[in-house]
Amino acid sequence: MRIFALAMAINKVHIDEFLELAKTMPVVDVRSPGEYHHAHIPGAFSLPLFSNEERKVVGTAYKQESREKAIKIGLDYFGKKMVTVVEEAEAILKQSKNDSRHIGVHCWRGGMRSAAIAWLLDLYGFKVYLLVGGYKVYRHWVLEQYEKNYVLHVVGGYTGGNKTGIIHELKKLGEPVIDLEGLAKHMGSAFGNLDLIEQPSQEFFENLLATELAALSGEDGKTAIWLEGESQRIGMVNLPFSFYKNMRREAIFFMDIPFEKRLEHIIKIYGKFDKDKFISAIIRIKKKLGGLETKNAVNALLEDDIQGCFRILLHYYDKLYLKSTSTAKEEEGKVTYVISETTDAKLNTQLVLNHVRNGNY
């Protein structure tokens, strides 16, 4: 009877309450390591009921034999690791510095995997909150965030204007900021991943962005969020189409900075990278850059004429930018030109903020 009473103490909560509770308690994702690695709720810890191979075996038994057979196999796996699961949960609480012993649990659909872990942790004495509908419901929540209309302040301009620096400065000043390139782990353009940092999956990128939007937009959704102007594709991930359309509708603060100043900044950022990697990146844009300009850029790099190489590439990206972002914005009458003679992020941040404070946009 005591065990039954403990099991009844598990709190089943819906997605909005679950995400609110997740701000003050750790959340464990009990799906397989492969599912977790592909995408998960940002901040959730992996506490898998089954390994990737075990999940495969249970799934095969369910499809080819019966539900009962699959459950028996699963219970056999689970029984051998109960102590380990409890100890890992304790370690997670310690890591998250949570003294309340409250913990959130979810699997894919809120089924047997999360129910089993929730029962065990509840039995051991944790205060368990089980997500109704599991990760599948969370993904519906994520996609719903992109159907909302956000107030956005977009920092745009030609390549090399240190727009990312402005975004970072705005964040330091306490402004609501989303660093899209930071979330995507890519600096944009064909040269944005020369350091070979692994990008998140498309699904996890969407999860990260939705979390930021929900946290920053305010209860009424009217808080203006700053972000850098991007094309829809950032490396291997894409901005959700509805959100990208939202960006295109909003005011853009176009950093109007001289070509030579931008060239200096680009060389500081990219000049450190290995030549072979850079040449490979140039080759990837050969079709758009043109055969002659590709040859000239590569030859300049091979001859250690870094400035000559980057001059060719910067001209190319200026033309590309004109075709995409700024032209469309100008037609809508939403471009505010911020004229500066430097790429200094602190100075340019103040120039942008002055436009906002004075209502000049």
pLDDT of res. 340 = 96
- Please tell me the distance from the alpha carbon of residue 298 to that of residue 271, in angstroms, as a whole number: 14
Task: Evaluate whether 335 touches 329 at the Cβ level (below 8 Å).
Answer: yes
- Asked if 124 and 150 sit in the same domain, the reply is no
pLDDT of res. 60 = 87
pLDDT of res. 35 = 96
Among the three residues 108, 138, 168, which one is the final residue of a domain in this structure? Answer: 138
Question: Phi-psi region for residue 194, left (φ > 0), alpha (ψ -120 to 50) or beta?
Answer: alpha
pLDDT of res. 354 = 93
- Asked if 120 and 164 sit in the same domain, the reply is no
- Asked if 201 and 151 sit in the same domain, the reply is yes
List the catalytic residues. Answer: 107
pLDDT of res. 324 = 64
Structural domains of the chain, count: 2
Ranges of the chain whose pLDDT falls below 50: 1-7, 326-327, 330-331, 333
Q: What percent of the chain has pLDDT over 70?
A: 92
Among the three residues 85, 103, 138, which one is the final residue of a domain in this structure? Answer: 138
Domain CATH code at residue 110? 3.40.250.10
pLDDT of res. 331 = 45
- Asked if 97 and 182 sit in the same domain, the reply is no
Among the three residues 91, 109, 138, which one is the final residue of a domain in this structure? Answer: 138
- Please tell me the distance from the alpha carbon of residue 225 to that of residue 246, in angstroms, as a whole number: 12
pLDDT of res. 117 = 95
- Asked if 217 and 133 sit in the same domain, the reply is no
- Asked if 115 and 168 sit in the same domain, the reply is no
- Asked if 207 and 261 sit in the same domain, the reply is yes
Closest CA relative to residue 143, chosen from 233, 52, 240:
240
pLDDT of res. 325 = 56
pLDDT of res. 279 = 85
pLDDT of res. 128 = 96
- Asked if 69 and 212 sit in the same domain, the reply is no
- Asked if 114 and 199 sit in the same domain, the reply is no
Q: Could you say which DSSP state residue 109 is in?
A: S
- Asked if 256 and 194 sit in the same domain, the reply is yes
- Asked if 238 and 352 sit in the same domain, the reply is yes
Domain CATH code at residue 273? 3.40.50.300
Domain that holds residue 351: 146-357
- Asked if 152 and 134 sit in the same domain, the reply is no
pLDDT of res. 193 = 60
